[in-house]
Amino acid sequence: MGSVLALLLVALVGGAAWYLVKRANDPSEAPGPGRGGPGGGRAMVTVGDALARKAELPVVIDALGTVIPTITVTLKPQVSGTLTEVLFTEGQMVKKGQLLAQIDPRPFEQALMQAQGTRQRDEAQLENARLTLARYQTLLSQDSIARQDVDTQAALVKQLEGTVMTDKAQEGTARLNLSYTRITSPATGRIGLRTVDPGNLVSSGDATGIATITQVAPIDVQFAVPQDRVADVLAAQRESDALAVTALDRTRKSELDKGRFSTLDNQIDTTTGTVKAKARFDNAAGGLFPNQFVNVQLLLRNVPAIVVPVTAVRTGANGDYVYVINEDRTVTLRKVKRGQATVGLMAIAEGLKEGERVVTEGGDRLQDGMAVQTADTQGARGPRSGASGPRSGASGPRGERGERRQRPPQNP
């Protein structure tokens, strides 16, 4: 009797387990109308969604650029002498015409005085020769002197006039050399490190000079444009005189400054297949530093298009596609054609209309015709099991999480 009861108990437990397993695997037992949820008896998948909308996407050229000073000047003396004073601090901002260094002026002052004395002597001789010529001309009119003497005196006057002119030029040169003993800034900018100390003998032949001045406001950025995009750049220049250029840091997270496109070079570099381009930045905040590497974004134009979050577009064996959510909460796989793209948005050139709702996350668990529920719909009935946050594109929290959770799509 005990064995029979044990067998009956085992059979009862086994039958109950079989019934529960079968019911759990039967889709008709899933929640549906009359069973506590929508879906018509199908298993529900919670997805993120967003509306296809019209927007203007920027057409940009990304490139790596180098910051180049507008003006770079090596501060060199123009005369030889002893450097007596250095009147600048390394790294300071200097203005054009500002006195930066002083060379001993005494030898040049003496040379100027000598040139002035020579000029005054020759001018006195010239004045005397002119007076003599005037007397000779008077005597010649009275027929009291030979014409040859008059002509000789006239030639002497011209000779002395040339001598005085030469003396004036030498005096000007001496005065100019004296002014060169005051070394002034030829441009406005930031001065670098000093290469020579006071007390040293300097000359115009020094290769390093005294210091280097770079103009940092405004400043230029040089970058390379692929030869295939040259026509786009030229067309954009014809449409707009000032194309916007943005300089970003190495990580592309911080904007350093905004500027305007200047020009393209006149030839293509055959080794790289690119054309050099230059943009100018005001650099009022000093975010750009000479010889700094920056990321450059050249905005060519804005293109109106139907856009969706980038997480909504998937790629399969037959190309790009999206899942469109129908009014009956089923999804339809629809092929699309990509257009321009940004970090968060993708333009759809063909296959989608404004106002249609697409799946942004959870699409890796979908097949054509499956029933879905959105996070907002699920939240109206109870705690959400899917993505949280308001429905939005790739710029919202759900779009970011969708990018992390997205797996390779099934073969449509």
pLDDT tens-place string over residues 270-300: 999 999 999 999 999 989 999 999 999 999 9
294 in the same domain as 246: yes
Cα distances (Å, whole numbers) of residue 372 to 37, 296, 377? 12, 43, 10
Residue 279 lies in a domain: yes
Residues 318 and 384 in one domain: yes
The answer to whether residue 17 is domain-embedded is: no
Mean pLDDT throughout 52-73? Answer: 90
Both 356 and 384 in one domain: the answer is yes
Let me know if residue 26 belongs to a domain. Answer: no
378 and 329 in a single domain? The answer is yes
Least confident window among 160-169, 356-365, 391-400: 391-400
Please state, in angstroms and rounded to a whole number, the distance separating the CA atoms of residues 173 and 97: 21
Decide which of 263, 282, 302 is a domain's last residue: 302
For residue 45, which of 321, 330, 265 has the smallest C-alpha distance? 330
**Domain finish residue from 273, 302, 331:** 302
- Give the per-residue pLDDT at 43: 60
Q: Is residue 76 domain-resident?
A: no
The CA distance from 281 to 292, in Å, is 14
* pLDDT tens-digit map of 239-268: 887 899 999 998 888 999 999 999 999 999
- Print the domain residue range for 231: 61-70+215-302
Q: How many domains does the chain have?
A: 4
**Residue that wins the pLDDT comparison between 233 and 386:** 233
pLDDT at 406 over 60: no
User: Same domain, yes or no, for 158 and 193?
Assistant: no
Task: Look at residue 343 in the predicted model and tell me its pLDDT.
Answer: 78
Statement to judge: residues 152 and 248 lie in one domain: no
Same domain, 360 and 316: yes
Question: Could you tell me what percent of the chain has a pLDDT over 70?
Answer: 85
Q: Domain with 85 in it: what CATH number?
A: 2.40.50.100
- pLDDT score recorded for residue 21: 66
**333/346 same-domain check:** yes
**CATH number of the domain bearing residue 230:** 2.40.30.170
CATH of the domain at 145: 1.10.287
Instruction: Tell me the two tokens of residue 176.
Output: 């100019």
Pair 400, 308 in one domain: yes
Whether 365 is in a domain gets the answer: yes
Per-residue pLDDT at 386 exceeds 50: no
Contacts of 223 (CB under 8 A, 6+ apart): 63, 64, 65, 66, 276, 277, 278, 279, 296, 298
Q: How far is CA 278 from the centre of its chain?
A: 10
In a domain, 174, yes or no: yes
23 within some domain: no
Query: The tokens 């529960």 sit on which residue?
Result: 20
Tally helices (H) and strands (E) across the chain.
Answer: 6, 22
- Highest-confidence range of 116-120, 281-285, 337-341, by mean pLDDT? 116-120
User: Given this model, what pLDDT does residue 24 score?
Assistant: 57
Are 315 and 392 members of one domain? yes
30 vs 1 pLDDT, higher one = 1
**Can you give the pLDDT at residue 259?**
94
Q: Are residues 292 and 373 in the same domain?
A: no
Same domain for 285 and 390: no
pTM of the model: 0.63
Q: Percent of the chain, pLDDT > 90?
A: 56
Which of 281, 302, 323 represents a domain boundary (last residue)?
Answer: 302
Domain of 399, CATH number, reads 2.40.420.20
Length of the chain, in residues: 412
